[in-house]
Amino acid sequence: MVKETKSDLNPLFAQKHSHHHVHVFLKLAVSCLLVGLAIRLLFFTDSFSLSSVVHNPPPLAANAIVQLPILSFPSPPPPSPSLHFPPNQTQTSPRDAEKCDLFVGDWVPDPNGPMYTNESCRVIEDHQNCMRNGRPDSGYLYWRWNPRGCQLPKFSPKKFLDMMRDKSWAFIGDSISRNHVQSLLCILSQVEAADEVYHDEEYRSKIWKFPSHNFTLSVIWAPFLIKADIFEDMNGVSSSEIQLYLDTLDDKWTNQYKNFDYVVIAGGKWFLKTAIYHENNTLTGCHNCHGKNLTEVGFEHAYRKALQQVFDFMTHSEHKAVVFFRTTTPDHFENGEWFSGGYCNRTVPFKEDQVEVSYVDSIIRGIELEEFHKTKNSSANNLKLLDTTGLSLLRPDGHPGPYRQFHPKPNAKKVQNDCLHWCLPGPIDSWNDIVLQMLTM
């Protein structure tokens, strides 16, 4: 029935392969095996029993829960290498920067709170429905993002829908992109409820229509953005390594690209998973594939190559869409990782100097900024940087934690925390405030 596994936390799995220094791999080789084993145990014992204790049978849409492959043999965390997040290097395009930098600022108290609740929005995915799931504190709902040196109005659903009459919009990426589209749906539903007009077999890609505005909103499941063969069963257990084709884009989104006036696209964490790389019809190496006679080439090359092709496709496409490229989203596991008891129970935002971006996120975001600016510099286009990494890093309080489940038992030993996705309502709503502001600047 319902596939209530931990699998939608899976982007975290590979989080640990933050770099590919040979000595680290050697040092960790033994513990990798142990952690791999622990994960199998955790998964098979805990999540299979989870699947039999679904409290409220979720609505049909809950089947949309992404089944990410579980067994990707994550290695343990690196010896906590981290870099300070350079706040002043957060850059918008030169044109936007003339006005102000929307991505540098602070979270300030907002007594008005969110624009919707679990009652007024019915499309919140169970795992992110923190209110319904019994999260006791609500302080995390009363903050707004305040860019330094400019105003950021709250999202106006009426203004947005009026601007979007006869237009079409797509979110392309992984489960964080779905988290983002649900935030937008919830905000817009205050003015007009959307009709779901399409979903794929796994409920991962969907299309909604807003009939009285003739506005079409899509979410397209393309976690790598490039062609990938992912072998997993209904429980998200992968039976074989992911095969990634570094020189071929995922046609799930490219086939439809010409239909979209606006696109929000993002990549990132899936590239950290174990995968075998192909280029030019040749097997060229792999990432984290212990025990295979293949060259470890690290994920960086693969991610860079994927983004280059994404931008190249958009630059050379005859169809011109307004494209928001979103940077990587940080997680906030503390005192452990997703698989080793890590949790995120803070209840207030960080101040800028209280937190550092993780090593792996700094690598991912570095690749993103470089490739974005290369494209931006070399061609006139409608590419915009939605650089939400830094402002999201300041919100350790915005994740479901144990409240990804309906009323988790207090002090239960084996509660799986989600410190990656965002509660709805929650800090991710501000991403939409920024998107609308960027459209009107």
Nearest distance from residue 214's CB to ligand NAG, in Å? 4
CA 223 – CA 17 distance, rounded (Å) = 18
Residues numbered 371 to 430 that lie near ligand NAG (CB under 6 A) are: 373-374, 377
SS3 82: strand
Nearest distance from residue 335's CB to ligand NAG, in Å? 7
Exposure b/e, 130-151, CB count within 10 A at least 16 = b? bbbbebeeeebbebbbbbeeee
Residues numbered 243 to 272 that lie near ligand NAG (CB under 6 A) are: none
With CB under 6 A as the contact rule, which of the stretches 40-48, 219-227, 367-375, 422-430 interacts with ligand NAG? 367-375
Residues numbered 209 to 228 that lie near ligand NAG (CB under 6 A) are: 214
Residues numbered 75 to 104 that lie near ligand NAG (CB under 6 A) are: 87-88, 94
Output 21 or 374, the one with its CB closest to ligand NAG. Answer: 374
Does the active-site annotation cover 55? Answer: no
* Among residues 53, 80, 136, 166, the one that binds ligand NAG under rule CB under 6 A: 166
* Among residues 132, 199, 290, 304, the one that binds ligand NAG under rule CB under 6 A: 132
Nearest distance from residue 138's CB to ligand NAG, in Å? 8
SS3 197: strand
CA 377 – CA 107 distance, rounded (Å) = 31
**Interaction of residue 118 with ligand NAG, rule CB under 6 A:** yes
Nearest distance from residue 377's CB to ligand NAG, in Å? 4
* Among residues 36, 345, 381, 441, the one that binds ligand NAG under rule CB under 6 A: 345
**Do 317 and 310 meet the contact criterion of CB atoms below 8 Å apart?**
no
Does the active-site annotation cover 250? Answer: no
With CB under 6 A as the contact rule, which of the stretches 43-51, 156-164, 342-350, 400-408 interacts with ligand NAG? 342-350
**Do 226 and 246 meet the contact criterion of CB atoms below 8 Å apart?**
yes
Dihedral sign computed on CA atoms, order 26, 304, 265, 370 = positive
Which residues lie closer than 8 Å to 316 by C-beta, 6 or more apart? none
With CB under 6 A as the contact rule, which of the stretches 28-36, 283-291, 308-316, 345-353 interacts with ligand NAG? 345-353
Spatial CA neighbour of 252 closest among 210, 206, 208, 303 = 206
Extract the tokens encoding 431. Answer: 């991403």
Nearest distance from residue 89's CB to ligand NAG, in Å? 9
Residues numbered 277 to 336 that lie near ligand NAG (CB under 6 A) are: 280, 293
The DSSP result for 91-155, as a single string, is ---HHHHHH--TTSEEEEE-TT--S--TTT-----GGG-TTTTT----GGGSEEEEETTS--PPP
SS3 160: helix
The neighbouring-strand residues paired with 145 are 107
**Do 384 and 97 meet the contact criterion of CB atoms below 8 Å apart?**
no
Output 214 or 317, the one with its CB closest to ligand NAG. Answer: 214
Nearest distance from residue 166's CB to ligand NAG, in Å? 4
Extract the tokens encoding 309. Answer: 């092709």
* Residue 416 vs residues 86, 343, 400, 405: alpha-carbon distances, Å: 31, 9, 10, 9
Q: By CB under 6 A, how many residues form the interface with ligand NAG?
A: 19
Q: Which of 250, 418, 429, 433 is catalytic?
A: 418
Cis-peptide, bond into residue 425, ω within 30° of zero? yes
**Interaction of residue 19 with ligand NAG, rule CB under 6 A:** no
SS3 322: strand
- What letter does residue 220 receive in the DSSP assignment? E
Does the active-site annotation cover 175? Answer: yes
The neighbouring-strand residues paired with 268 are none
Q: Which of 180, 287, 399, 421 is catalytic?
A: 421
Q: Which of 72, 75, 175, 205 is catalytic?
A: 175
With CB under 6 A as the contact rule, which of the stretches 11-19, 75-83, 200-208, 368-376 interacts with ligand NAG? 368-376
**Interaction of residue 366 with ligand NAG, rule CB under 6 A:** no
Nearest distance from residue 175's CB to ligand NAG, in Å? 21
Output 166 or 318, the one with its CB closest to ligand NAG. Answer: 166
Output 52 or 377, the one with its CB closest to ligand NAG. Answer: 377
Which amino acid, residue 89?
Q
Output 251 or 370, the one with its CB closest to ligand NAG. Answer: 370
What character string, x for contact with ligand NAG (CB under 6 A) and - otherwise, covers 167-196?
-x----------------------------
Active site residues: 175, 418, 421
Applying CB under 6 A, the residues found at the interface with ligand NAG are 87-88, 94, 118-119, 131-132, 166, 168, 214, 280, 293, 345-347, 370, 373-374, 377
